[in-house]
Amino acid sequence: DATTVGDKPVTVVVKDKNGNVLVEVPATIKVVEAKPTPIETPVTNTPLTKEDIAKFVKVPEGGKVTNVENIPDLTTPGEKDPVKVTVELPNGKVITVDVPVNVTPVNEIETPVTNTPLTPEDYTKGITIPEGGKVTNVENIPDLTTPGKKDPVKVTVELPNGKVITVDIPVNVTPVKEIETPVTNTPLTPEDYTKGIKIP
């Protein structure tokens, strides 16, 4: 029975050219599962290809992926409908494997106007890197000395299967309001000064 996972006893029958049984040899075959690895990625405009998804399915030696359907949109966060991967096992049996897909949101980086630049590590805090993945590059770091919506920071992420994607990190720099006060002998407190700053 090759429809379930595990070690299966079989009997190998050797016959001569006339069909006479010469010997019967007991043997064991190992039936392994075509087990998928869930796909987790931050929101990205980089699409997954059929070849990318096939890498998330552990196919038994001698088997092969014959079809991939229902590739999801990665530009919005959330649990997606599973990708349908058709696998032909070494014994010729064809099965369908559902590969789960989870797209994690990207958080906007918000900061008041400042002369203190953020580091590449600061920008990557806005995304969830899947276990086994890594950030390989951060570019387009904006000027924080002027307020406004900035061009997104481009973060290159290598997913656990080797797929390389680009993640856009939105950046919003909020203005610092001028503190206006009449002439007075009453000093302002530190809290008074921070009222002009929007703290993320």
Residue 118: inside a domain, yes or no? yes
pLDDT in tens, 146-174: 999 999 999 999 998 889 999 999 999 99
Same domain as 116, residue 52: no
Return all residues near 181 (Cβ < 8 A) that are at least 6 apart: 188
Same domain as 140, residue 88: no
Residue 167: inside a domain, yes or no? yes
Q: What is the number of structural domains in the chain?
A: 2
For residue 41, what are the domain limits? 32-104
Answer for the pair 85, 99: CB distance below 8 angstroms, yes or no.
Answer: yes
CATH number at residue 58: 2.60.40
Return all residues near 36 (Cβ < 8 A) that are at least 6 apart: 56, 57, 58, 85, 97, 98, 99, 100
Residue-wise DSSP of 90-154: TTS-EEEEEEEEEEE--PPEEEES-SSPPPHHHHHTTSPPPTT-EEEEEE-PPP-SS-EEEEEEE
pLDDT in tens, 46-103: 999 998 888 888 888 888 899 999 999 999 999 999 999 998 888 888 888 899 999 9
At 140 the pLDDT is 93
